[in-house]
Amino acid sequence: MKKWIIFTSLIVSAYISNAQATSSANQNVGLVLNNAIGITFVSSGTSTGATVSMPFTTVSDYANGVVSADQQLRVQSNVHFNVSVQSNSQNFSYSGTVTPSPTISVASVLQMLVSANGTGGSLSYTSYSSIPSGTATIINWGSPGGNQTFSVRYMATPGFSMPGGTYTTNIIYTATQP
């Protein structure tokens, strides 16, 4: 008997694609923002402004008062804000030769006004007003932003009742978010 051997061939073809394989991953990123506020003097870039010197050298200075140059401040806030002003003391500190030291009320001699407003807020102190030892709001509902500026100007009118010497007080500006 004859045996036949049959060979079969199997042809296997592979399809090779030129397409790139891709894969992706994703992630949520959450920002946790807290309200933030800062107030600085533009000239120094810090919360401490330069000393404002107001010399009285003539009789006219004593009779009519002396006015300072504008002092510009910047508020940076991510929400609306208010700005208040106050003196750190009811009375000036005195340095001079008179003893006992004279006691002079800040509110009776020193006044200020808001001379420029770039905050978008409403103003009080649009004319010269006394600076209290308690807080007084000078800007209400300023607009959020990183460069909200305003300027103040001081006027001192001591009259002729104060002896010579140097009288100082610290004026404090406070920015708050309502």
The 3-state DSSP class for residue 48 equals coil
What proportion of the chain, given as a percentage, has pLDDT over 90? Answer: 87
The residue segments making up the domain with residue 150 are 37-45+65-176
The average confidence (pLDDT) of the chain is 93
In a domain, 141, yes or no: yes
DSSP β-bridge partners for residue 117: 150
In a domain, 17, yes or no: no
Structural domain count, the chain:
1
* CATH number for 126: 2.60.40
The answer, yes or no, to whether residue 1 has pLDDT greater than 60, is no
In a domain, 120, yes or no: yes
Rounded Cα–Cα distance for residues 115 and 176 (Å) = 21
What pLDDT score was predicted for residue 4?
Answer: 53
Q: Give me 85's structure tokens.
A: 């002003």
Give mean pLDDT, residues 174-178. Answer: 97
The 3-state DSSP class for residue 152 equals strand
In a domain, 15, yes or no: no
DSSP β-bridge partners for residue 103: none
Give mean pLDDT, residues 85-93. Answer: 97
What pLDDT score was predicted for residue 90?
Answer: 97
The answer, yes or no, to whether residue 51 has pLDDT greater than 80, is yes
pTM for this prediction: 0.85
- CA torsion sign for 117, 123, 129, 131 is negative
